[in-house]
Structure 1
Amino acid sequence: MKFNKLFSAALLLTVATLPLTTSCNDYLKEKSESFIGPDQVEDSKEGVDMWVTGVYSNWLDDMFRWSEFPRVLEMDADYISGPDWLFSSLGAGNFQGESALDKMWKGPYNLINDANMAVRYISQMKGVDEAYKNNAIGECYFQEAFAYFLLVRAYGPIPYMAEDVSNSGEFMHSRRPVAEIYDHIIDLLTKASSLMYTRNNSNYKTGHVSAGSAAGLLAKVYATMAAAAMPAGTEVTVRTGAPYVTEDGKKHYRMPTAETFKKTAVEGYENMDAQALYKKAAEWAKKVIDGEYGSYELTAYDDLWKHSHCHDAEMMWGVESTTGDATYCTNVHTYYSGYKKSKGSPFIESGGWIGCTNNWYHLFDDQDYRITKGVRHVWRYYYQEDYNGAFYYPQSWSVKITGMDADGNYVREPDTEYKKTGMNYQYNQSSECLAFTTKYDDVDDDATQYAESFWPFLRYADVLLIYAEAENELGNSAEAMHYLNIVRKRSNATLMETPATKTAMRSTILEERAKEFACEGDRRWDLIRWGIYLQAMNAIGGRDDANINKARTDRNLLYPIPTDEINVNDSINSNNPGWN
């Protein structure tokens, strides 16, 4: 495995100065300028904290800092869209032409290397009680496992590193089979779940991962393997289709239609036992639900995306940044919400680019909070100030907002709340008018490009839906529906009755995941594990709402390994199929 040697060498000098990624705070703002080597880190709780902090910091002072994350996880999916200049090669399916994918490979491997080194040094400490050391080691195991989980889903067979480079001296590792990598992930998470504090333990530090995080991720890992191992031909229904219909030369949104896809085999998972894996997924998810690893609950919808609630029990693992820090910052708020001309201004100066499509928006009940509150319906860009303009969404709101139908014909007076503003409302079929999420809106200063953000990688809602999925595949559809409805109830969605078939329930759960985890980097990986990625992408008919190319071929099932890795690592002789 080839690493960025300069980064690795720098880490040896700065391990004590790096901030913790998932924690809110003060020490994110107060970074020491001193430089020390790993052998100089004191044998104490403070020394343990330095090592753990160094591992976590990879997320901000590496992967999220330059905005490659979350784009590399998010932009290649059926329900996500945005401007072509932002989606570029990645969004159009030309993965090898996307420089950001280098970080998708190198970032997790740098993290794995640092986690291995931290475990090695923490294990040697004599002046720290075992519980504290074990918790720290468990946190490192979790981070390492999560990095491998990102990599194996994206690249298939990948190298495994048992030791850090500074100890082994080995930079080159061959790719290992998918099943073997999952064995390592399961081992790491199983150990982490037993080593870490629960979130109810008085020693647990807010913002860190916990035993429950490991158990929840383990359920997700098993469900990923299980779905991928389901037999070819397994049916899944997705509501999809071309974004617009053209009538009399004009484009109008269309309602998505249900299409049933037959699963294709997912390479690397063929010899796995889907039923056995779903039993493990259900087992681990239920342990979390029953509180064996700490108490978890859903946050009320009105609080769910407030930054002050990013450490609620629902948020089991995520990456948090602070405002305005040039090193430990992200562009999450800018990309999804946009920053304003001035604090509190109604006008977006820049950003607010990434959104969801009409097909996604029309999956919801009309009263579902995830679109009534979770989608931006009226917004204004800086260039609309001169003519008192504003955009609106969706197109079907045309009459209530403007008084005219989608063809520009007068129907009636607009609703009072819109008429009294006197604004010139407009809608168009472009990246300017998408279903933009409000998940990342809440910040202290909405006029800064690098506002604080929390990117959730694992929520308790995910554990509930994983449990529902597993129980359905195990033949317990009523149990599955009960837990699905817990998630729906929180969002004021209509509670559902159990569908007549396992296929219908499977499709309902997958659709619920698309609604619940929109703009959280999950959709591509759900389509991949279910073996319906190509069908779902190509069902759009070529171009989406913002004219982004969604046509895909077999080579898009896996990301290409970076070219410089192939060139330097003698243990890797070829790239993934379809990539040079």
Structure 2
Amino acid sequence: MNRHIKYLATLVIGLFLASCADLLEEKTYTFIAGEDLVNNNNYDQLVTGAFNSLNYGFEWGNYHTVVNFDCDYQSGPAWAFGTLGAGNFYEHGSVINFYNYYYITIHRANYHKSLIAKMSIPDKVKANAMGELAFLKAWSYFNLVQFFGDLCLYKESIAEGADLYKPRSPIKEVYEHIIEELKFAEEAMYSTQDPEYKIGHVSRGAAKALLAKVYATIGSASMASGNISVMGGPGHFYNENGAKQFIPVPQKLTFQKTQVAGYEDFNSAEYYKLAMDKAMEVIQSNDFMLYPSQEELWSVASRNRGEFIFTLQTTPGSTETSNYVATDYSGYFKETGVMSSGYYVQRDHWYQLFEENDGRVKWGVVHRVPVSTNSAGKLVYSYYPAKDSAKVRLGLDGYDPSDILYYSAHLYGSKLKKFYQVTVPLDGQRTDFNFPFLRYAEVILLYAEAANEVNGGPTPEAITQVEKLNFRNNSTPVGEIGETRAWTQESFRSYILEERVKEFAAEGIRKFDLLRWGIYLQTMNAIDVDEKDVIKRRQKRHLLLPLPANEINTNPFIETNNPGW
């Protein structure tokens, strides 16, 4: 981090804008001093330049591997998951880049915000631009504090006089600043319904939604005790002959949550009340909406609209602002029609969470993958899941009797169609997948989670809100479930946690959920080694990521790394 700060202090804005893509037309500002930018009133370039730094973590896959690989339901070939996926975090390039890139983003947000504050532009325009940068800074710190704990807290830029080196501030102080920035942003930014709002930018509703998520994170992490259940456990065993046998159905595992270290001084009930109220503000604003089906949700036409509150902004054909996410998770088609790549899949235990006609698996999972061609040049397909064998035999639901079941690490699992939401062909090159950071569906589930904790069980309004998702996904309405098995606070808590992993698979949310609920170690260790031979066994040190060695070596205020590293 510090080498980036020094560079910023030396070149001022030059470092950052020099890294932006040509398509953003910021090359002309590469070596222009801050005063000239102020005089030219280039606020839009400064906002774009700051948000563009989010693409750094996707240029070679750093962000999504850090947030997705280390959880219970994500897996793939052991060669792909042998480091991050196996808990080997220390000095891993993706972890280092995750840390450094978010600090670059924080320093951009601080410095660019200070420049815009000096500009002679309409007050409403200035407030919105500064609000967007405050949101970006809050988002960056929110990601860092959950993974690294105590952080060096920069409330202003080096150019404004901030010390180059700082001691780590406690988690509570970091969250106080996150909340401060988001409260400013929710007042300063445009609503999506304002005529001045630009598609693809964050909005007032985005700040409120992120505030709700921050409050709920604090509420769950600071909760001293309570039970919560997950569906998991081992995915295989070895029989008396030494042959691997799959365990297709996950077990119900009930854990006693632990309070997350660093959150002891928060009042869980207070923050859950804040989360409930803030999420309802978003719901009542009508700034966002749910799409009626998974297919429409993940159509190209839906990008940056409706349900998508905050996503990565990409451009096809640009190395700096495009990525391999779609290729890595869903695969691409060779000229022969055979699919290649797509190595990162959801484990079979994830698929087994769903009812058969739930749109998130019926439409949302790739059930037939062309894996080869036969001697006649005809494509040979692998089918998934194994329990669809009767449909395959009868040629139902799009299957063909010639389809073959493969248990290969990247074939036996769920490839998700959500990653097809790109405007360019899936041909193995970079695509413009807008990684979803925050969706309206999460606001609904955050409201239900918070209402359950505040009221000692689900309220009628919480049931109503969740049923919006049930109807969209064609799953049994939560109210109907409650008629046959009355909901308790614990059972509804577990239901919401499961709905989150079903709805947001591979969207960078599951590990954060396991951490904030204090059940990360229990959940991962119940698997031990998954059916693809990926090590899921974890120790206490894995509760936080290690700081980069360079941060320890250069910052005189930091003498030790996170516990165990």
**With structure 2 as the length reference, what TM-score do the two structures score?**
0.92
**Contact 2:24–2:48 (CA<8 Å) still a contact in 1?**
no
CA RMSD of aligned residues (A): 2.2
**Contact 1:464–1:484 (CA<8 Å) still a contact in 2?**
yes
State the distance in 1 between where 2:91 and 2:555 align: 20
**Contact 1:307–1:454 (CA<8 Å) still a contact in 2?**
no
Shift of 1:383: 7.5
The answer to whether residue 150 in structure 2 is matched with residue 150 in structure 1 is no
The alignment partner of 1:321 has SS state of coil
**Contact 1:90–1:97 (CA<8 Å) still a contact in 2?**
no
Q: 1:271 aligns with which of 265, 268, 279?
A: 265
The answer to whether residue 53 in structure 2 is matched with residue 58 in structure 1 is yes
The alignment partner of 2:438 has SS state of strand
The alignment partner of 1:474 has SS state of helix
**Contact 2:259–2:518 (CA<8 Å) still a contact in 1?**
yes
Residue 347 of structure 1 is matched in structure 2 by: 338
The alignment partner of 1:236 has SS state of strand
The answer to whether residue 520 in structure 2 is matched with residue 533 in structure 1 is yes
Letter in 1 for 2:505: A
Q: 2:407 aligns with which of 428, 433, 437?
A: 428
The alignment partner of 1:268 has SS state of coil
Residue 40 of structure 1 is matched in structure 2 by: 36
The alignment partner of 1:251 has SS state of strand
> Matches of residues 150-169 of structure 1 in structure 2 within 5 Å?
150-168=143-161
The answer to whether residue 458 in structure 2 is matched with residue 477 in structure 1 is yes
The C-alpha deviation readout for 1:50-91, integer Å capped at 9, x for no partner, is 11111111012x221121011111110001111222223111
The alignment partner of 1:578 has SS state of coil
**Contact 2:246–2:531 (CA<8 Å) still a contact in 1?**
no
Shift of 1:417: 4.8
> Matches of residues 487-506 of structure 1 in structure 2 within 5 Å?
487-497=469-479, 498=482, 499-506=486-493
Letter in 2 for 1:578: G
Letter in 1 for 2:35: D
State the distance in 1 between where 2:11 and 2:54 align: 16
State the distance in 2 between where 1:169 and 1:337 align: 44
The alignment partner of 2:98 has SS state of helix
User: Using a 3 Å threshold, how does the CA distance of structure 1 residues 6 and 569 change in structure 2: closer, same or farther?
Assistant: closer
Residue 238 of structure 1 is matched in structure 2 by: 230
State the distance in 2 between where 1:172 and 1:318 align: 32
Further displaced range: 307-316 or 378-387: 378-387
The C-alpha deviation readout for 1:203-248, integer Å capped at 9, x for no partner, is 011100000000000000000000011113x100111111135567
**With structure 1 as the length reference, what TM-score do the two structures score?**
0.90
Shift of 1:381: 3.6
The C-alpha deviation readout for 1:229-277, integer Å capped at 9, x for no partner, is 1113x10011111113556745234211111000112101112111110
Letter in 1 for 2:13: L
Further displaced range: 27-36 or 465-474: 27-36
**Contact 1:18–1:53 (CA<8 Å) still a contact in 2?**
no
Shift of 1:388: 3.9
Further displaced range: 550-559 or 245-254: 245-254
**Contact 2:368–2:399 (CA<8 Å) still a contact in 1?**
no
Letter in 2 for 1:533: Y
The answer to whether residue 534 in structure 2 is matched with residue 554 in structure 1 is no
**Contact 1:243–1:254 (CA<8 Å) still a contact in 2?**
yes
> Matches of residues 39-188 of structure 1 in structure 2 within 5 Å?
39-43=35-39, 47-60=42-55, 62-126=56-120, 128-168=121-161, 170-188=163-181
**Contact 1:256–1:359 (CA<8 Å) still a contact in 2?**
yes
For structure 1, the 5+ residue unaligned runs are 21-26, 404-412
The alignment partner of 2:82 has SS state of helix
Letter in 1 for 2:445: L
The answer to whether residue 519 in structure 2 is matched with residue 523 in structure 1 is no
Aligned residue pair count: 551
Residue 441 of structure 2 is matched in structure 1 by: 461
State the distance in 2 between where 1:534 and 1:16 align: 41
Letter in 2 for 1:494: T
The C-alpha deviation readout for 1:534-560, integer Å capped at 9, x for no partner, is 0111111x2113211000110000000
The answer to whether residue 560 in structure 2 is matched with residue 574 in structure 1 is yes
Shift of 1:288: 0.5
**Contact 1:63–1:69 (CA<8 Å) still a contact in 2?**
yes
State the distance in 2 between where 1:260 and 1:83 align: 29
Q: 2:356 aligns with which of 344, 366, 370?
A: 366
Shift of 1:114: 0.6
**Contact 1:82–1:355 (CA<8 Å) still a contact in 2?**
yes
Shift of 1:5: 5.3
Residue 441 of structure 1 is matched in structure 2 by: 420
> Matches of residues 302-381 of structure 1 in structure 2 within 5 Å?
302-342=295-335, 346-349=337-340, 351-381=341-371
Letter in 2 for 1:239: M
The alignment partner of 2:436 has SS state of strand
Aligned-residue identity in percent: 34
State the distance in 1 between where 2:493 and 2:155 align: 37
Letter in 2 for 1:158: L
**Contact 1:14–1:34 (CA<8 Å) still a contact in 2?**
no
**Contact 1:3–1:106 (CA<8 Å) still a contact in 2?**
no
The alignment partner of 1:426 has SS state of coil
The C-alpha deviation readout for 1:343-402, integer Å capped at 9, x for no partner, is xx63224x211111111111111110000011111112467796842221112123332x
State the distance in 1 between where 2:118 and 2:399 align: 66
Residue 494 of structure 2 is matched in structure 1 by: 507
Shift of 1:532: 0.5
Residue 418 of structure 1 is matched in structure 2 by: 399
The alignment partner of 2:146 has SS state of helix
Shift of 1:17: 6.7
Residue 387 of structure 2 is matched in structure 1 by: 396
For structure 2, the 5+ residue unaligned runs are none
